[in-house]
Amino acid sequence: GAVVSQHPSRVICKSGTSVKIECRSLDFQATTMFWYRQFPKQSLMLMATSNEGSKATYEQGVEKDKFLINHASLTLSTLTVTSAHPEDSSFYICSARSQGYGYTFGSGTRLTVV
């Protein structure tokens, strides 16, 4: 089946620093990847749609300068949380559309900003 690998699984960073999260499709090419954040006991909220070779499309209310998305290849998309603050602490998940498997999700990244 389609597999999406997401790293790191957990990261703790100091307030004001930047954190990069990687999302790789291992056995298929993903022209489009999606980035979500999830707060405890809440559902996934789409942050942005990442298209290979072009600028990401951000959902309303999501700061594009704070959440930098790069989709440089058909198998890799990255989300960089810049100048992180405690309110950015959340569970970040990527997904990619794969033929026959719906939307395959990464295992998620637990970000804690202290």
Per CB under 8 A, residues contacting other proteins are: 4, 6, 32, 34, 41-46, 49, 91, 93, 95, 97, 101-108, 110
Q: How far is the CB of 68 from other proteins (least distance, A)?
A: 21
The string of DSSP codes covering 5-60 is EEE-SEEEE-TT--EEEEEEESSS--SEEEEEEE-TTS-EEEEEEEETTSPPEEPT
Residue 40 vs 86, nearer CB to other proteins: 40
Q: How far is the CB of 83 from other proteins (least distance, A)?
A: 26
Q: How far is the CB of 17 from other proteins (least distance, A)?
A: 23
Q: How far is the CB of 59 from other proteins (least distance, A)?
A: 9
Residue 33 vs 83, nearer CB to other proteins: 33
- The C-alpha angle 3, 27, 34, rounded to 5 degrees, equals 55
Give the CA dihedral 83, 89, 90, 96, nearest 10 degrees.
20
Residue 25 vs 106, nearer CB to other proteins: 106
Taking CA atoms, 35 is separated from 14, 59, 114, in Å, by 22, 10, 23
Provide the 8-state DSSP code for 88.
G
